[in-house]
Amino acid sequence: MTGAVGNACLAVGLGAALYAAGAGVYGARSGRREFVTSARWAMYCLAGLLTIAMIMLESAYLRTDLSFKLVAQNSSHETPTFYKLTALWSSQEGSLLLWAFLLSVYSSVVLLVTRRKLREIVPWATAVLGVVAAFFLSLMIVFGQNPFAKLARAPVDGNGLEPLLRHPAMAIHPPMLYSGYVGFAIPFAFAVGALITRRTGADWIRSTRRFALVAWTLLGTGILLGALWSYSELGWGGYWAWDAVENASLMPWLLGTAFIHSVMVQEKRGMLKMWNAGLIMATFTAALIGTFLVRSGILDSIHAFGASTLGVPFLIFIGVVAIGSVVLLVSRRDSLRSEGQLESLLSRETFFLLNNLVLVVLCLVIFWGTFFPLISEAVTGTKQSWGPPMFERWTVPLALLLALLSGIGPLLTWRRASPATVRRALKWPLVATAVALGVMLVVTPAAESVTSLIMFTLIAFVLAAVAQEFLRGASARRVMARESWPAAMASLVRRNRRRYGGYLVHAGIAILFLGVAASSGFHAQKDVSLRPGQSTRIDGYTVTYRRPTAGINSDRGGTGAPISLGAVLDVRRGGDHWTMRPSRNYYKNNDGTGGVFGQYFTGDSTSEVDLRWGLKRDFWMAVQPDTTGLMKPLRELNRRFSNASERTQIAGFVALMEVYRRTAPPAQFRAIVSPMIAWIWIGGAIVLVGTLTALWPTAEARRRRAASLAAARLGRELSRA
């Protein structure tokens, strides 16, 4: 039943998507509006069908219906309910369905919002969205990635969700990331529509600006959640490793950042039309690469690529998108001419242009580094790869430059700024920066890392510039409206949401960089093997291994781990004193090697990091218990109790846990003291608040209807004068 309904949804959905594309094009070319409306309804239907499909698949996961291949692959009876639901997107088929579902929802919303606008562009945009949706649906139906595929015979139990993915951040990370990727399809589709119809003004940008901003925010949130997961779940203590997967998500985000800046130049000045259209096309292409290329295996080797079933259709699609975009851009270059000109180098648009260049170069560098294994294999025959140091060598200077630009940009005005006012605008931020630099040099050890010191200084500058914008704006309002400071501040933000929301985002990013610079420049790490009772010192802290712990079904993280081995440690510095309990979870392996008892020690195991968060510093602790001492008792248990009753076997495990606690072998510990790392997440939260501020419907839109009468009259009178 579930499978039949799901499959029917996909099949009918493919029909609806193709129809939407066809009807959109026909409606646009013949001018018959009813076909455009019909195409829009086809997209609504698609959203409805894919919602049903998602519900069907989730219900199969919830019931642990193991006759579904996907459920058997990455869920099981004993997987906790929450993780059963999130297991959907841990498989390739499931994430394709999620992608198509999100796309259909986004498309329906944008088509609903623009149903009475952009008459020429919308039909083509509908068609583009229909084609993209049809591509994803055909992957599921035609290219064998069917999420509803059944197994000939249902297994007794499934593999369970990969233990490493059992983490709250990882549960919402993929949908966030995908929402971001998919969201960029909307401005992309409208850009294509705008180019085809040669309506290259700012209208398509105005209608899709919010979608681009939402996509940018969700993608950024997804990236940060991934970093948070890496830091608090993976047992290495870092949050970013320049892994291909991470890079693939960062590239569209960087291009998207450039896009949401540069479209303002087109809105205000009618410039950069070609650039904006090209940028969003590149962003969407990068989003497609991010979705897929990592899963394709192409980065492992050129030769492995053919083996992936998805590789060829996806590469063709990406190629069509990229080449189609270039052809469209070139063929429409005459209608993409600038209306305005750069009037002065000392203007906000110049700095937007510079920031765009830096962001695009940053993206290109990351692209080059990520694909370097392929490039070098093609050029020299031997595969070489870029390690994190190479990435850092290139990206850190660019990031510093970006911080500088983001500090100066807001202080300038559009068109031109006179040197005198710029000097005045720069005065206080520079004074504040100098003071901050002095304090850092005297009070903190910041001078030990030159890069970090430069970064800190630039961050101080950005924050001071943003603060000055708030203060000067509020004081201007105070003078004008005779309001108190808080009221002036509130109405300032309310009346200029986009501007001040944007400033908040700048402040948030600066604070995020503060966390990055401090934690990467000044962290202390120690790997040490300790026996119970022994101590070690790190960064002035004394860490003492008190006793080992061992438990059955005792994991605090709710991951459903059967066995957890851990440690209790005391950490002490001066009067500060606390206890930490890192542990390691052991999961049953699914092929049964190791015997009834041993199978719990040959499967996956994951670090359960213990973290003490703090605004000043985090104390991070992971343990790697030594299980070699358990091997002999395990063999014994396997030999004697393999066929015993469940109760006896449980008693066997309890005894085994006792053996671990009693023998207490030395365990490997990793302790990390990271200063100010929490500010990365705090900065991220501020960015979120800032974008919400900028996205919130403006007072003016609500006022518009009431005011339009008066405005029009005023306008007529002005034009007569």
Partner 1 sequence: MDPARKRKIRLVVALTAAVVLAGALVWTSFGSATEAATPSQALHGAPGRSIEVTGKVVDGSVRRGDPLRFRVRDRNGATSIPVVYRGTIPDPFREGREVIVTGRMQNGTFVGQRDSLVTKCPSKFQSKPGGKTL
Partner 2 sequence: MGRAAAAIHSAGVEYALAIVVFGLGVAFLVVRPLLRPAEREAPDQARREQLEAAKEAKYREIRDADLDHRMGKLSDEDHRETDRELRRQAIEILRQLDELAPEEAPGGPEGADARR
Footprint on this chain of partner 1 (rule: CB under 8 A): 69, 72-74, 90-92, 151, 155-159, 162, 164-165, 174, 233-236, 241, 243-245, 294-295, 300, 304, 341, 361, 365, 368-369, 372-373, 376, 380, 382-387, 390, 393-394, 527, 529, 590-592, 602-607, 624, 626-628, 668, 670
Binding mask 680-709 for partner 2 (x = CB under 8 A): --------------------xx--xx--xx
Of 5 and 315, CB closest to partner 2: 5
- In whole angstroms, what is the distance from residue 261 CA to residue 307 CA? 40
- In whole angstroms, what is the distance from residue 157 CA to residue 65 CA? 10
Of 233 and 469, CB closest to partner 1: 233
Q: Do 650 and 600 contact (CB within 8 A), yes or no? A: no
Q: Nearest-CA neighbor of 260 among 209, 311, 303, 195? A: 209
Answer yes or no whether residue 16 interacts with partner 2 by CB under 8 A: yes
Phi, psi of 559 (to 5 degrees): -90, -5
* Binding partner selected for residue 529 from partner 1, partner 2, none, CB under the kind-specific 5 to 8 Å limit: partner 1
Of 375 and 689, CB closest to partner 1: 375
Of 229 and 461, CB closest to partner 2: 461
Of 156 and 442, CB closest to partner 2: 156
Q: Do 572 and 616 contact (CB within 8 A), yes or no? A: no
Amino acid letter, 9: C
Of 447 and 479, CB closest to partner 2: 479
Answer yes or no whether residue 420 interacts with partner 2 by CB under 8 A: yes
The first and second tokens of residue 176, run together, are 């966030």
Q: Which helix (H) or strand (E) holds 425?
A: helix 419-443
Of 359 and 492, CB closest to partner 2: 492
Of 91 and 114, CB closest to partner 1: 91
User: Around Cβ 244, how many Cβ atoms within 10 Å?
Assistant: 17
Answer yes or no whether residue 415 interacts with partner 2 by CB under 8 A: yes
Residues forming a β-bridge with 536 = 543
* Binding partner selected for residue 425 from partner 2, partner 1, none, CB under the kind-specific 5 to 8 Å limit: partner 2
Strands 524-530 and 535-538: unpaired
- In whole angstroms, what is the distance from residue 454 CA to residue 83 CA? 43
Answer yes or no whether residue 429 interacts with partner 2 by CB under 8 A: no
* Binding partner selected for residue 573 from partner 1, partner 2, none, CB under the kind-specific 5 to 8 Å limit: none
Q: Which long-range contacts (CB under 8 A, 24 or more apart) does 116-121 make?
A: 117/203, 117/207, 118/190, 118/193, 118/199, 118/203, 118/204, 118/207, 119/33, 120/28, 120/193, 120/197, 120/199, 121/190, 121/193, 121/194, 121/197, 121/199, 121/203, 121/204
Answer yes or no whether residue 484 interacts with partner 2 by CB under 8 A: no
**Minimum distance, C-beta of residue 123 to partner 2, in the bound complex (Å):** 12
Answer yes or no whether residue 421 interacts with partner 2 by CB under 8 A: yes
**Minimum distance, C-beta of residue 466 to partner 1, in the bound complex (Å):** 29
Phi, psi of 534 (to 5 degrees): -80, 155
Q: Which of positions 86-145 make contact with partner 2 (CB under 8 A)?
A: 116-120
* Binding partner selected for residue 376 from partner 1, partner 2, none, CB under the kind-specific 5 to 8 Å limit: partner 1
Of 236 and 414, CB closest to partner 2: 414
* Binding partner selected for residue 78 from partner 1, partner 2, none, CB under the kind-specific 5 to 8 Å limit: none
Q: Which of positions 261-280 make contact with partner 2 (CB under 8 A)?
A: 267-268
Answer yes or no whether residue 338 interacts with partner 2 by CB under 8 A: no
**Minimum distance, C-beta of residue 128 to partner 2, in the bound complex (Å):** 18
- In whole angstroms, what is the distance from residue 82 CA to residue 558 CA? 10
Answer yes or no whether residue 293 interacts with partner 2 by CB under 8 A: no
Q: Which of positions 30-89 make contact with partner 2 (CB under 8 A)?
A: 32-35, 37-38, 41-42, 44-45, 49
Answer yes or no whether residue 478 interacts with partner 2 by CB under 8 A: no
Answer yes or no whether residue 480 interacts with partner 2 by CB under 8 A: yes
* Cα atoms in the Cβ-side hemisphere of radius 13 Å centred on 41: 6
Decide: helix, strand or coil at residue 543: strand
- In whole angstroms, what is the distance from residue 462 CA to residue 455 CA? 10
CA-to-CA dists, residue 39 to 32, 560, 580, angstroms: 12, 47, 59
**Minimum distance, C-beta of residue 38 to partner 2, in the bound complex (Å):** 5
**Minimum distance, C-beta of residue 88 to partner 2, in the bound complex (Å):** 20
Of 165 and 504, CB closest to partner 1: 165
Which one of the spans 301-309, 467-475, 609-617, 657-665 is the region binding partner 2 (CB under 8 A)? 467-475
**Minimum distance, C-beta of residue 2 to partner 2, in the bound complex (Å):** 10
Figure out which of the listed residues 50, 192, 202, 399 binds partner 2, where binding follows CB under 8 A. 202
Q: Nearest-CA neighbor of 61 among 27, 111, 26, 97? A: 97
Q: Nearest-CA neighbor of 407 among 430, 424, 423? A: 430
- In whole angstroms, what is the distance from residue 129 CA to residue 136 CA? 11
Residues forming a β-bridge with 232 = none
**Minimum distance, C-beta of residue 175 to partner 2, in the bound complex (Å):** 25
All residues at 6 or more sequence positions from 362 whose CB lies less than 8 Å from its CB, including other chains: 254, 395, 398, 399, 402
Answer yes or no whether residue 479 interacts with partner 2 by CB under 8 A: yes
Of 420 and 442, CB closest to partner 2: 420
Burial of 67 (0-12, 13-18, 19+ CB in 10 A): middle
E strand intervals along 74-216: none
Answer yes or no whether residue 715 interacts with partner 2 by CB under 8 A: yes
Answer yes or no whether residue 407 interacts with partner 2 by CB under 8 A: no
CA-to-CA dists, residue 45 to 28, 114, 133, 305, angstroms: 20, 17, 12, 36
The residues binding partner 2 (CB under 8 A) are 1, 3-5, 7-9, 11-12, 15-16, 19, 23, 32-35, 37-38, 41-42, 44-45, 49, 116-120, 201-203, 206, 267-268, 411-418, 420-421, 424-425, 469, 472-473, 476, 479-480, 495-496, 499, 700-701, 704-705, 708-709, 711-713, 715-716, 718-719
